[in-house]
Structure 1
Amino acid sequence: MNKRKPIIIDCDPGTDDTIAIMMGLVCDKLDVRAITTVSGNQTIEKVSNNALRLVSFLGKDVKVARGSIRPMQREIFLADFVHGESGIGNTVLPETDKKFYEKNAVDTIYEEAMACNGELEIVAIGPLTNIATLLLRYPDVKEKIKRLVIMGGAINGGNDTPSAEFNIYADPEAARIVFEAGLNLVMVGLDATHQAKLYEDEIREIEQYGEKGKIAAEIFDFVKPFYVNCGFDGIIMHDPCALSYVIDESIVKTKKYHVDIETQGEITRGKTVVDIYSVSGKEANVEVAVEVDRDKFAKLVKESIKKYN
């Protein structure tokens, strides 16, 4: 049997974060060393409690560490208009006696990076505040991170402003630090995640997969009106798309480009500037997701949730 891949999921649960965490914790290819939280879809208090309750509800013994309360420079910006007041829609997870890990998110990531000695992969599916803080606080950590896979950015238009995707827009300064750090970086942005959708019949199938399937379907149903209003013919699963790449790289096709983060633009702040024609002459620094095998992705989501049944 192949050795399980050590990962940390840095997240802001979050409806689609919840599904990604469910997928990660049940996958026999992954060794989830910790769940770390960051302010994003909701406040740090709400997303941290969501993560803690979710891990307990799923019956997994994984540490949960609270992270950054606010972005590095800008004001706090939330996505409650998508994820609801709680962060996970109408879903109510059972209360838990489980405690947060004694260390904060940044120190936890560093601890695991050192322990894994160059094998740790980080899946960052929220704003990049924790990761940027990690790089500033512990410069030596760069050599210990095998790969950083983020859900964020876009080659084309944004979903929070016409030019910027939410996770990058929520903390552009952090994103710039991360993108300029020289890490082995994979950007799973909107161009890919908008292909990672589930259809109504698939949601109803998942709903039949016991208690965990009902929770997943409840989350899908909550976000459905938002995506219908945006003109999509299915439910878009941004964060599970990034997680699926870590599980099975054949699901997501990437191309390497140079990517910069715009932090000053009046109407482009938070944009991932992807040099698709190499006009800047700068060396490509990011593997950018460009295509998703939708059927293979949906199959992985369904199989993952079904494992809990």
Structure 2
Amino acid sequence: MKKVIMDCDPGIDDAIALTVLLAHPEIAEVIGVTTVGGNVTLNYVTQNAKKLLTFLGSKAELASGQAEPLVKEIETAGEIHGKTGMEGYDFPAESEDYPLTSENAVTFIHDKLVASDDKVDIVATAPLTNIALLLKTFPEIHDKIDKIYVMGGSTLQGNITLAAEFNAYVDPEAAQIVFDSGVDVVLSGLNLTENKAFMTMDEIKSIKELGEVGVMASSILDFYASAELEKGMTKIPIHDACAVISMLNPGLFTKSHNYSIDVATTNDQFRGMTYPDRRVYAEEKNSVKVLEDVDRDAFVKYLLDSIKSYS
């Protein structure tokens, strides 16, 4: 049984990822969920986490974290996720009452790691601000972490800019800290999520047949997919589900490579770009496991079966 903390910024694909994670208590005990400003501002992402945890019947402890990146002001993605970050479904009114254990995600995660007899996996589907602060503030707990499964960056194209993926762009300084920490990092970047781990519109439409959780997932994905289609996407990436599923079922991911990765922290068009050292004699600044391929049909089936399991 894995012990897992999920650090997220729901966000529609975060919502799907958290739904998948909580569908597998036989594999993963979720000992905490933390939020960070990213897709939308911290108040909204924390409200959205409360909505999801209430709706899914979870008792996981929730903590809110950093509202802003380490260095620059936050940039959000409301045009993709909607003003509140999770438009399209009426969640239970009692969501407001979901308890918030802490407003300091960094010390919350630290305390969970210290209290655990086993190593803990962290799934990070947002800007890495909370995780970077954790690793810098408490270096002694590095060996309490098994792996950090990150959705972020890319070894190919960007999305928020031509060079940068959104999470890495929002807080590149934090991403560099995490990559350089010495903790094992498994990276699901745009090279995987956009090019390999996508869903078709027919597959997304089929989700509404999978019970009430399917209705919820389909409703919020309709908004998300329409925004992607307007940008010219024909295959809809469910980015954050990759980080969760790579932890739950790593055998679905059929190709990976370890790279030393730098993150551009310059204030120009390259800010947030994650670039792997592909030289034969690469300088080993860090070693990040970059997932490069997935059995797409099996990935989609795993996602759909996870949603269906609630019914």
| Correspondences of 1:261-272 after superposition (within 5 Å) | 261-264=263-266, 266-272=268-274
| Correspondences of 1:242-253 after superposition (within 5 Å) | 242-252=243-253, 253=255
Q: Does 1:193 align with 2:190?
A: no
| Correspondences of 1:157-306 after superposition (within 5 Å) | 157-194=157-194, 195-252=196-253, 253-264=255-266, 266-278=268-280, 280-282=282-284, 285-306=287-308
Structure-1 separation of matches of 2:217 and 2:53: 14
In structure 2, what is the equivalent of residue 14 of structure 1? 11
Alpha-carbon deviation of 1:205? Answer: 2.3
Task: Check the 8 A contact 1:258/1:278 in 2, yes or no.
Answer: no
In structure 1, what is the equivalent of residue 148 of structure 2? 148
Structure-1 separation of matches of 2:41 and 2:109: 20
SS in 2 for 1:143: helix
Alpha-carbon deviation of 1:201? Answer: 2.6
Per-residue displacement from partner, 1:189-212 (whole Å, max 9, x unpaired)? Answer: 001111212223322322012211
Q: Alignment identity in percent? A: 39
Alpha-carbon deviation of 1:94? Answer: 1.7
Alpha-carbon deviation of 1:56? Answer: 0.8
Among 60, 66, 70, the alignment partner of 2:64 is 66
Task: Check the 8 A contact 1:256/1:284 in 2, yes or no.
Answer: no
1:278–1:108 Cα change, 3 Å: farther
In structure 2, what is the equivalent of residue 94 of structure 1? 92
Alpha-carbon deviation of 1:284? Answer: 5.5
Among 296, 306, 309, the alignment partner of 1:307 is 309
Task: Check the 8 A contact 1:257/1:284 in 2, yes or no.
Answer: yes
Q: What one-letter code is carried by the residue in structure 1 that aligns with 2:84?
A: S
Q: Structure 1: which 5+ runs fail to align?
A: none
Task: Check the 8 A contact 2:3/2:118 in 1, yes or no.
Answer: no
1:160–1:241 Cα change, 3 Å: same
Task: Check the 8 A contact 1:118/1:143 in 2, yes or no.
Answer: no
Equivalenced residues, count? 306
Q: What one-letter code is carried by the residue in structure 2 that aligns with 1:167?
A: N
Alpha-carbon deviation of 1:80? Answer: 0.6
Task: Check the 8 A contact 2:185/2:289 in 1, yes or no.
Answer: yes
Task: Check the 8 A contact 2:197/2:294 in 1, yes or no.
Answer: yes
Q: What one-letter code is carried by the residue in structure 1 that aligns with 2:132?
A: A
Structure-2 separation of matches of 1:167 and 1:249: 22
In structure 2, what is the equivalent of residue 26 of structure 1? 23
Structure-2 separation of matches of 1:62 and 1:164: 33
Structure-1 separation of matches of 2:266 and 2:156: 18
Q: What one-letter code is carried by the residue in structure 2 that aligns with 1:23?
A: V
Q: What one-letter code is carried by the residue in structure 1 that aligns with 2:275?
A: V
Per-residue displacement from partner, 1:78-121 (whole Å, max 9, x unpaired)? Answer: 01111000101223322322210135211111112112245100
Alpha-carbon deviation of 1:143? Answer: 1.3
Q: Does 1:134 align with 2:131?
A: no
Q: What one-letter code is carried by the residue in structure 1 that aligns with 2:151?
A: M
Structure-1 separation of matches of 2:256 and 2:90: 37
Q: What one-letter code is carried by the residue in structure 2 that aligns with 1:94?
A: P
Structure-2 separation of matches of 1:303 and 1:10: 23
Computed over aligned residues only, the root mean square deviation of the Cα atoms, in angstroms, reads: 1.4
Alpha-carbon deviation of 1:183? Answer: 1.0
Structure-1 separation of matches of 2:281 and 2:42: 40
Q: Structure 2: which 5+ runs fail to align?
A: none
Higher alpha-carbon deviation: 27-36 or 199-208: 199-208
